[in-house]
């Protein structure tokens, strides 16, 4: 029986002019375009410099900044207010003002002042830019200390930052696992749900209900094709990540698939519950977007859950995507294997069981 | 074969069916006649195990809809009022699919659908959604028949179908009846009632009569007259004012009215003349099912 239903399902799917292509195009576009487009790496920050000293040291400092690769010199301004104008125009993002007597003060007193002002409209870019800049200045001041051989002013603590798990602080590596879990969620939650609701809408569901086809088998015939498609899309993502971004799952492919296999049941269970309460495609679509937005934003995907207020963390604790996203990211970046993440796996398993039981109950209730 | 006993069903405050009972024998063509919203589809959904009634029971070949619904589903064919086959599958794929979910094949029961399916066989590779209304109907009937059901439930099969296809469709039902399939059919068209062996007239969820069409007409123990005049609109108003007329309603190009006896005809004629009606025609007619239906309210 299931065989005939699946056969019918695949026939309908392959015959649809859009769907089979979409299942290929969606992961390609999301994996190729989004990581490149939504780049959060801060570089090429335009800088306006107000050099009131125009000495050898101040020149050296400016050279060091412009050759760092992070900053592009937009202009030299004669004073601070001119520099601010170029920020207002959008030519510059950050201002460095070097005080008059910069060189003299360093040589004579061992210290001198500079002012960094950053445009904080984009908080992230502004603060990261300012901290890059102060790092460069700090480096330069260390050089000067050596050169001028100041005694007992060398810093007692020297900080050497090392970014573990994503050494180059590559934002793409952070986002790719997130895009993968979003894709799996959309395919395994949206597609079976919309398919079931469309059968309701067209009345074919009623025709099936008067045949000996068991409800359970019918639902299964809706889930299996899209679970397979979810896994296929996931595989496409793994391949793109490897060959386009040279990102390997450090924890191994097997762990990825184990988590995904459990998660697709969570995601489709949620979809089934929605389909049981939906009487039109419009309603199903709208309700699903509502839940998917919650899933996406109340998880680790964009904002770390640890940064959320306590009530936000409490909501996120009931978000299965948080655990799945965390697992996939850890497997990719930290090299975790599923035995390291057994807690997440168990929680996802509980989600899968509970959601599917709720789906069956709500299905019976709406009979 | 089909035994419906005291079925009631309410949706919120709306009483869709109220204490409905009837009994259809094997090989009978039983019609359920009534306008839209009378409760026909609800009754069909109960008989086909899709809806649970609030009260009463249905037995299909001695199987209860409560306990043996799985057995019932194997042995009935249901054609809902709305075309409910897969529009993106071809004619042949639809038939094949419904044969296979009933664990049978087209070949096994082809003799049953041959007369109907042969009309659409030339289009077997066309998608079901691209068929004309009449052909969709034939395909739906073929799919409902392909597993050799004991009972066929057809919910308004001729609604929205052209008169020629309607006639064809009823001819097909006769063929099926003749090979012993019990058919329960609903229709809002009163003129189709006479093609059934027995009919039930349903109004606001209540059966007002269950009998053969002939008996229903014969039991109409009133005198029915038809009236015509130049100004029909005014005529209906005036006719309703006449004390001898118990009921009057527009019926096509005429007005049908129920009176106690032929003797009043002249009297009514005079009254209407005095109200300045021109070219008055009044004559006695024999009732049709529709007259019985309207009178029985």
State whether A127 and A12 are in the same domain: no
Asked if B75 contacts B60 with a C-beta cutoff of 8 angstroms, the reply is yes
Query: Do the domain assignments include residue A286?
Result: yes
State whether A55 and A6 are in the same domain: no
Confidence class for position A300, pLDDT limits 50, 70, 90? confident
pLDDT in tens, chain B (297 residues): 899 999 999 998 899 999 999 999 999 999 999 988 899 999 999 999 999 999 999 999 999 999 999 999 999 999 998 889 999 999 999 999 999 999 999 999 999 899 899 989 999 999 999 998 888 999 999 999 999 999 999 999 988 888 888 898 999 999 999 999 999 999 999 889 999 999 999 999 999 999 999 999 988 888 899 998 888 888 888 888 888 888 888 888 899 999 888 888 888 888 888 888 888 899 999 888 888 888 876
Query: Do the domain assignments include residue A102?
Result: yes
State whether A324 and A245 are in the same domain: yes
Of residues B265, B268, B267, B247, the one with CA closest to residue B257: B247
- Chain B CB contacts of A204 below 8 Å: 84-86
Cα(B145)–Cα(B166) distance, integer angstroms? 18
Domain hosting A69: range is: 45-148
Asked if A284 contacts A194 with a C-beta cutoff of 8 angstroms, the reply is yes
Query: Do the domain assignments include residue A160?
Result: no
State whether A238 and A342 are in the same domain: yes
Pick the CATH number of B2-212 from 3.40.50.300, 3.30.365.10, 3.40.50.261, 3.40.50.2300: 3.40.50.300
State whether A83 and A110 are in the same domain: yes
> CB A185: neighbour CB atoms within 10 A?
28
State whether A8 and A111 are in the same domain: no
Which residues neighbour B148 within 8 Å (Cβ) at sequence distance 6 or greater?
B104, B109, B112
Nearest to A212 among B50, B74, B93 (CB): B74
Please give the pLDDT value at position B244: 85
State whether A347 and A214 are in the same domain: yes
Antiparallel, parallel or unpaired: β B29-33 and B182-187: parallel
Mark yes or no for CB contact B80/A203 under 8 Å. yes
**Placement of tokens 């349903």 in the chain:** B202
What is the tally of structural domains in chain A? 2
Which residues neighbour B80 within 8 Å (Cβ) at sequence distance 6 or greater?
A203, A206, A207, B44, B155
Mark yes or no for CB contact B84/A207 under 8 Å. yes
Please list the residues that pair with A117 across neighbouring strands: A95
Tell whether the model's pLDDT for residue A122 goes beyond 90.
Answer: no
Residue A216 gets the label, from left (phi > 0), alpha (psi -120 to 50) or beta, of alpha
Tokens of B177: 């009846």
Asked if A177 contacts A35 with a C-beta cutoff of 8 angstroms, the reply is no
Q: What is the CATH number of the domain that holds A108?
A: 3.40.1710.10
Tokens of B108: 């096994």
Tokens of B279: 């070219």
Mean pLDDT across chain A: 86
Tell whether the model's pLDDT for residue A305 goes beyond 60.
Answer: yes
State whether A33 and A64 are in the same domain: no
Mark which residues 182-221 of A lie under 8 Å from B by CB: 202-204, 206-213
Cα(B2)–Cα(B49) distance, integer angstroms? 13
Query: Do the domain assignments include residue A153?
Result: no
Q: Which fold has domain B220-295?
A: Alpha-Beta Plaits (3.30.70)
State whether A346 and A331 are in the same domain: yes
State whether A359 and A252 are in the same domain: yes
Please give the pLDDT value at position A238: 94
Cα(A343)–Cα(A346) distance, integer angstroms? 5
The whole-model pTM stands at 0.79
Nearest to A210 among B73, B93, B97 (CB): B73
Mark yes or no for CB contact A212/B76 under 8 Å. no
Mark yes or no for CB contact B80/A11 under 8 Å. no
- Chain B CB contacts of A211 below 8 Å: 73, 98, 101-102
What percentage of residues in chain A have a pLDDT greater than 90?
Answer: 42
Please give the pLDDT value at position A188: 93
Please give the pLDDT value at position A70: 84
Please give the pLDDT value at position A168: 60
State whether A141 and A255 are in the same domain: no
pLDDT tens, A210-221?
999 888 888 889
Please give the pLDDT value at position A353: 95
Best-predicted range by mean pLDDT (A63-67, A284-288, B233-237): A284-288
């Amino acid at each position: 029986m299931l065989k005939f239903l699946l056969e019918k399902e695949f026939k309908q799917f392959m015959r649809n002019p859009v769907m089979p292509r979409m299942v290929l195009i969606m992961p390609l576009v999301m994996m190729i375009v989004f990581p490149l487009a939504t780049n959060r790496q801060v570089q090429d920050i335009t800088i306006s410099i107000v050099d009131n000293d125009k000495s050898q040291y101040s020149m050296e400092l400016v050279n060091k900044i412009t050759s760092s690769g992070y900053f592009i010199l937009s202009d030299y301004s004669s004073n601070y207010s001119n520099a601010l104008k170029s920020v207002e125009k959008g030519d510059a993002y950050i201002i460095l003002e070097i005080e008059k007597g910069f060189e003299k003060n360093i040589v004579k007193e061992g210290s001198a002042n500079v002012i960094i002002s950053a445009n904080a409209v984009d908080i992230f870019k502004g603060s990261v830019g300012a901290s890059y800049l102060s790092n460069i200045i700090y480096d330069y001041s260390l050089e000067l200390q050596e050169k001028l051989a100041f005694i007992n002013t060398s810093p007692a603590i020297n900080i050497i930052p090392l970014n573990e798990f994503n050494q180059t602080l590559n934002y793409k590596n952070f986002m790719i696992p997130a895009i993968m879990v979003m894709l799996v969620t959309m395919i395994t939650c949206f597609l079976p749900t919309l398919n079931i609701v469309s059968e309701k809408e067209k009345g074919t569901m009623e025709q099936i209900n008067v045949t000996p086809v068991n409800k359970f088998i019918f639902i299964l015939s809706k889930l299996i094709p899209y679970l397979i498609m979810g896994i296929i899309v996931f595989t496409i993502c793994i391949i793109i990540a490897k060959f386009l971004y040279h990102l390997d799952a450090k924890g191994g492919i097997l762990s990825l698939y184990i988590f995904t296999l459990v998660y697709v049941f969570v995601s489709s269970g949620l979809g089934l519950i929605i389909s049981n309460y939906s009487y039109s495609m419009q309603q199903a679509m709208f309700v699903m977007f509502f839940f998917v937005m919650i899933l996406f934003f109340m998880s680790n995907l964009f904002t770390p859950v640890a940064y959320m207020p306590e009530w936000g963390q409490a909501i996120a604790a009931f978000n299965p995507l948080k655990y799945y996203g965390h697992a996939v990211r850890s497997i990719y970046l930290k090299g975790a294997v599923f035995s390291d993440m057994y807690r997440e796996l168990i929680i996802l398993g509980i989600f899968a069981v509970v959601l599917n039981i709720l789906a069956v109950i709500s299905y019976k209730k709406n009979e | 074969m089909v035994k419906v006993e005291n079925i009631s069903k309410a949706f919120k405050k709306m009483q869709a069916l109220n204490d409905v009972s009837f009994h259809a024998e094997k090989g009978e063509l039983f019609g359920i006649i009534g306008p839209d919203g009378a409760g026909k589809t609800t009754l069909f959904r109960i008989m086909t195990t899709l809806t649970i009634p609030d009260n009463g029971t249905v037995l299909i070949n001695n199987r209860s809809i409560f306990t043996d619904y799985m057995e019932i589903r194997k042995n009935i064919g249901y054609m809902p009022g709305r075309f409910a086959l897969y529009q993106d599958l071809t004619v042949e794929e639809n038939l094949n699919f419904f044969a296979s979910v009933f664990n049978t094949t087209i070949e096994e029961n082809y003799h049953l659908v041959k007369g109907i399916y042969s009309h659409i066989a030339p289009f077997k590779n066309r998608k079901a959604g691209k068929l004309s209304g009449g052909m969709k109907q034939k395909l739906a009937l073929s799919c409902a028949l392909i597993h050799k059901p004991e009972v066929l439930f057809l919910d308004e099969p001729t609604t929205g179908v052209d008169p020629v296809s309607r006639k064809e469709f009823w001819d097909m039902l006769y063929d099926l009846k003749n090979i012993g399939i019990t058919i329960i059919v609903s229709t809002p068209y009163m003129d189709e009632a006479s093609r059934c062996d027995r009919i039930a007239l349903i109004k606001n969820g209540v059966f007002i009569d269950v009998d053969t069409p002939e008996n229903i007409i014969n039991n109409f123990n009133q005198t029915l007259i038809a009236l015509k005049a130049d100004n029909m609109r005014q005529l209906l108003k005036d006719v309703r004012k006449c004390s001898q007329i118990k009921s009057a309603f527009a019926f096509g190009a005429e007005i049908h009215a129920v009176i106690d006896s032929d003797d009043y005809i002249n009297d009514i004629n005079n009254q209407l003349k005095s109200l300045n009606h021109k070219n008055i025609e009044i004559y006695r007619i024999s009732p049709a099912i529709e007259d019985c239906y309207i009178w029985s309210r």
